Homo-oligomer: A and B are copies of this chain.
Amino acid sequence: MILTWNQIVNLLGDIDVVGAIAAGFDADARGDVVIPPVGEMTFKDPPGDVHIKYGYIEGGSHYVVKIASGFYDNPELGISSSQGLMLLFEQKTGELAVVLLDEGNLTDIRTAAAGAVAAKFLAPSAIGKIGIVGTGIQARKQAQYLRCVTDSRTVVVWGRNTDHRNACTADIAELGFDTSTVESVEELCAHCNLIVTTTPAKEPLIRSEWIAPGTHITAIGSDTPGKQELDAEVLLGADLVVADRLSQCRQRGEIASALASGNFDESRVIELGDIVGGRTAGRSNDDQITVADLTGVAIQDLQIALAVYKVARAIDHI
């Protein structure tokens, strides 16, 4: 079975993506999921990185292999920076079950859904303004999927480039949000108690002293060693630091950067799936500062690919 993005997009309406991703984190944190280290290739000219994520649920039906890339100069050519596809194989024979030619879109969506899961379980009870750092695809997708878990319909956007900022707020406004832009990340932090960072930054954008009590930050952008959006002090000062998968966050993401600073204690990190599954407490009051470090885990790819495959088979969409 081969499904193109046009076919896949028509199936998504029948899928509870946020629920599927939450269930995946739960299974992973319970120890039911096998996920080897991420495969990675980095290109310099033009700049791009490729991630190969793969894994399976023990005793499950399939294993997933997902290839996703970010080539950040692509938009200048009129091409999406995100590219890739997902593959499901039978766990008992290795036979190919489905090729999802999603052109990177399912990766964008499962990433956004993870942001929604993090917000659902970690954001303060009353979300005022949502601050989004970055103006790319993921900035838009985060806003789109946050609608599933909060009634807040106010988004503040920061990005380096004014044109990109305006284009991004226009797109987010179409999703039903009141939008505005700010000139600095510091200003964004002053206005928002749910902040999502979505950039490929290699130097921290957010400083600890800008973060007010009662803020939740979801860091999405840092998925490769060398990328960093939050100063290590942000994690050191947070009441709760949550990883999508600790073994992966040791190698990449904000937790890896905080660990590299030498001051951060890994034993403080909680896995998101343990909060989803009710095995560990999440935020305990509205004054805490919480940080979720989402590096993107193969269980998310498996869950969204399986969900699409099941719906496609059910409606005989072959």
Contact = CB atoms under 8 A, between A and B. Distances in A.
Contact of A85 (B46, B69, B87): B87
A56 interface: yes
| Copy count, this protein chain | 2
A93 B74 contact: yes
A126 to B, nearest CB: 40
A54 B41 contact: yes
A1 to B, nearest CB: 11
B83 A96 contact: yes
B36 A39 contact: yes
A95 B79 contact: yes
Interface of A: 2, 34, 36-37, 39-41, 43, 46, 48, 50, 52, 54-56, 63, 65, 67, 69-71, 74, 77, 79, 83-85, 87, 89, 91-96, 99, 101, 103-104
> Which DSSP category, helix, strand, loop or mixed, fits chain A's interface?
strand
B94 A69 contact: yes
Given A40-B36, A41-B34, A56-B41, A83 B77 contact: no
A41 B104 CA distance: 23
B43 A91 contact: yes
A91 B36 CA distance: 24
Contact of A84 (B36, B69, B84, B94): B94
A74 B65 CA distance: 21
A99 B36 CA distance: 24
A56 B83 CA distance: 17
B79 A52 contact: no
A41 B67 contact: no
